[in-house]
Amino acid sequence: MMAAVTAEGISKQYEDTVALDEVSLSITEGTVFGLVGPNGAGKTTLVRAVTGTTEPDTGSVSVFGTTPPDVDDEQIGLLPQSFTPPKRQSARELLDYYAGLYEDARPVDEILGEVGLVEAADTRYANLSGVQQRRACVGITLVNDPDLLFLDASGTTVFLTTHYMAEAETLVDRVGLLADGRLVTTGTPTDLVDDYGGGTRLQIETAGQPPTDPEALPVAAAATETGVVVHDVDPTEIGSVLGALSDCGIEYDALSWTEPTLEDVYLSLTDAETGSKARPGPRATAGNSVPGSEASR
Ligand SMILES: Nc1ncnc2c1ncn2[C@@H]1O[C@H](COP(=O)(O)OP(=O)(O)OP(=O)(O)O)[C@@H](O)[C@H]1O
């Protein structure tokens, strides 16, 4: 399959700030690529470089084999983070307006159906719910039937930027982790979690004072502020771990068992490779946005 986007060694500096540091990536046509990194990691700068609204200092970008400023507008859809359409217009009027900007736009009714706004088509944007407003915005990006969409769609290559790790983990085929302008790694979320996520964690809050010398315990435990954490415990072994701790006089108040996530991957790779303590953004919460709406600007 052809690459929709190829970047080779792109760097961008603003005075003393290195926004992008030798970023190389390739996004296969028809896939969903998630770019994840905390605020200031360089996501917007990378999207701007790929969409041709900023020129990298070094390196090259190709979108469908063409240098970004020369890519046909009809091939790209972009939903900026800060985009707010006129609030007095209905979803249908908005789509009609944007469709009118293209010679070969898609039928508006078809798009209203795809984004689930058939019943609310004639409601003013201001009176739509938050989710419906984001759907209307996504609909606007679809009017020109783009081949590369900077957000979210099906049958199209999607470049989604987000600081929500959980969102990336569930939505994308491949993810790139960006920290301090460096693309730390790319891969499928599953492979990355397998390779770098570390094992499972059994987090135990002790009823009394946490043990002062966890290394002396009969299980491989590390101290936390409120107790101990034991890595690589199979769910079937939790009882025996608790039993061994109890034999040493350590009773638990609360416990949680978790599997590694993309967030663990991010922390382990950014700590290991850049020494950065950059933390990923908060996990996805129910808000007024569609999944993946932390869009590129
Ligand atoms: N026009 C500019 N002038 C100076 N510095 C800039 C400019 N644009 C970006 N930067 C800096 O470059 C770095 C990367 O910024 P960028 O906006 O690409 O990050 P981001 O990952 O998109 O962050 P956010 O999630 O907050 O949007 C930051 O340190 C930012 O302050």
Q: Which residues line ligand 1 (CB under 6 A)?
A: 14, 17, 19, 37, 39-45, 163
**pLDDT string in tens for the chain (297-residue length):** 688 899 999 999 999 999 999 999 998 887 888 888 888 888 889 988 998 889 999 999 999 889 988 888 778 877 766 678 888 999 999 999 989 988 888 999 999 998 889 999 999 999 998 878 888 988 888 888 877 777 636 456 677 777 777 777 777 888 898 888 889 899 999 999 989 888 888 998 988 777 777 777 777 788 888 888 888 888 888 898 889 888 888 888 898 998 888 888 888 888 754 444 333 333 322 222 222 233 333
Looking from the CA of residue 45, the nearest atom of ligand 1 is 18
- Topology of domain 199-258 in CATH is Alpha-Beta Plaits (3.30.70)
Q: Is 292 exposed, middle or buried (0-12, 13-18, 19+ CB in 10 A)?
A: buried
Domain ranges of the chain: 3-193, 199-258
d(CA 211, CA 65): 60
The answer to whether the beta carbons of residues 5 and 26 sit under 8 Å apart is yes
Q: Candidates 3.40.190.10, 3.40.640.10, 3.40.50.300, 3.90.180.10; correct CATH number of 3-193?
A: 3.40.50.300
175, β-bridge pairs: 34, 187
Identical fold for domains 3-193 and 199-258, yes or no, is: no
Protein residue closest via CA to atom 2 of ligand 1: 14
Closest Cα to residue 183, out of 2, 5, 3, 4? 5
Protein residue closest via CA to atom 17 of ligand 1: 44
Protein residue closest via CA to atom 30 of ligand 1: 40
118: helix, strand or coil: coil
Mutation test residue for ligand 1: of 45, 53, 182, 296, the one with most atoms within 8 Å of CB: 45
pTM listed for this prediction: 0.66
Structure ipTM: 0.96
d(CA 63, CA 102): 20
Cα 8 to ligand 1 centre (Å): 20
The runs of H, that is alpha helices, within 18-127 are 43-51, 91-99, 108-114
Protein residue closest via CA to atom 12 of ligand 1: 19
